[in-house]
């Protein structure tokens, strides 16, 4: 039985979440359909454009993304401080970029709410919108529903585009965030769609590389920056240089007899980091099979078990081995 979303999102434990949406029956509805011969690659750009808009409306930061033929990955961070600092007018203006305003809020904006009851009701609606604009469920709803409607209109059909609600995984510490971001960015390489980070289309790592080299795509998604500091909440607590090193190195050390790897003769983006190869690879290969709703150190998983009256969480044994070593990585 699916878990209620409120049991999967816990801001007291972490603001970081890995979200996955899959097309219905895992059909190739965003790429090349080998059965019908139709090409739906342009729909990936729809997702890029929509996500760019969403990142500028919601108080949710996009840390990483990968758009594949039949599914989409995002790593998101809820920015509660940003939403709390918005004025009431800014909340209304942001909401208006996605939805039509009700008459009451139109009158509130123009200063025509003349009674205390009208003003109180308008403030109540604004408070609801403020909460929704930092809610991952609303973010994914506004993203996925928009794409589904466009695809159905193009296909002149009705019915589901996505197989169901999105899957989410809470990332409980920096190690989990880092490994998840690399896992997401290496999706096209593992799927043998490309051989290098520079050619991995529709991924955040390719966008970051292009921006470093001075390129700025018109519809680029505003990404959470790397700031290499744990003393501020303004960005990711790693350096971009180290992240690109690690992502490139991870792709290289995937065994050549496995499907999808960066070939040894491909020029390196940066020199590899000194990491425990076995543990790191096990982490990257476990996101889709071994990890479940929460990913992080054992002590945090036990806290969540206690809060939710559970005896255990799937993946706890693996998390114990992977995320409890303080020297597992350095920032």
- Give the chain's domains with CATH numbers: 5-79+135-323 (3.30.70.1290), 87-132 (no CATH)
Kindly report, residue by residue over 263-274, the tens digit of the pLDDT: 554 323 333 333
Residue 113: Cβ within 10 Å count: 19
Q: Ramachandran region of residue 171, left (φ > 0), alpha (ψ -120 to 50) or beta?
A: beta
3-state secondary structure 130-142: HHHCCCHHHHHHH
**Mean pLDDT score across all residues of the chain:** 82
Kindly report, residue by residue over 80-133, the tens digit of the pLDDT: 999 999 999 999 999 999 999 999 999 998 888 878 899 999 999 999 999 999
Cα distances (Å, whole numbers) of residue 186 to 81, 109, 160, 204: 31, 46, 28, 10
- With cut-offs at 50, 70 and 90, classify the pLDDT of residue 141: very high
Q: What predicted TM-score, i.e. pTM, was given to this entire model?
A: 0.85
d(CA 326, CA 319): 13
Kindly report, residue by residue over 279-306, the tens digit of the pLDDT: 667 677 667 667 778 887 778 888 877 7
């Amino acid at each position: 039985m699916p878990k209620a979303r409120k049991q999967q999102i816990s801001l007291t434990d972490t603001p970081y979440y890995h979200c996955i949406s899959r097309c219905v029956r895992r059909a190739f509805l965003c790429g090349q359909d080998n059965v019908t011969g139709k090409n739906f690659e342009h729909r990936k750009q729809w997702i890029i454009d929509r996500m760019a808009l969403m990142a500028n409306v919601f108080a949710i930061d996009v840390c990483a993304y990968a758009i594949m033929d039949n599914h989409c990955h995002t790593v998101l961070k809820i920015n509660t401080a940003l939403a709390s600092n918005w004025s009431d007018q800014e909340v209304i203006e942001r909401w208006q970029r996605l939805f039509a305003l009700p008459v009451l809020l139109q009158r509130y904006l123009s200063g025509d709410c003349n009674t205390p009851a009208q003003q109180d009701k308008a403030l109540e609606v604004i408070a609801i919108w403020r909460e929704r604009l930092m809610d991952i469920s609303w973010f994914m709803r506004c993203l996925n529903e928009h794409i589904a409607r466009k695809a159905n209109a193009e296909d002149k059909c009705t019915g589901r585009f996505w197989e169901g609600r999105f899957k989410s995984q809470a990332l409980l510490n920096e190690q989990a965030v880092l490994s998840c971001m690399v896992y997401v960015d290496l999706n096209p390489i593992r799927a043998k769609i490309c051989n290098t980070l520079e050619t991995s289309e529709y991924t955040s790592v390719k966008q970051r590389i292009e921006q470093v080299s001075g390129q700025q795509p018109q519809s680029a998604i505003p990404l959470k920056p790397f700031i290499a500091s744990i003393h501020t909440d303004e960005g990711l607590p790693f350096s971009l240089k180290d992240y690109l090193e690690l992502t490139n190195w991870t792709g290289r050390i995937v065994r050549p007899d496995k499907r999808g790897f960066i070939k040894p003769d491909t020029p390196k983006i940066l020199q590899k980091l000194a990491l425990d190869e076995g543990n790191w690879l096990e982490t990257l290969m476990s996101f889709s099979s071994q990890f479940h709703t929460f990913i992080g150190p054992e002590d945090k998983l036990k806290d969540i078990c206690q809060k939710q009256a559970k005896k255990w969480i799937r993946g706890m044994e693996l998390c114990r081995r992977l995320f409890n070593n303080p020297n597992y990585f350095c920032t």
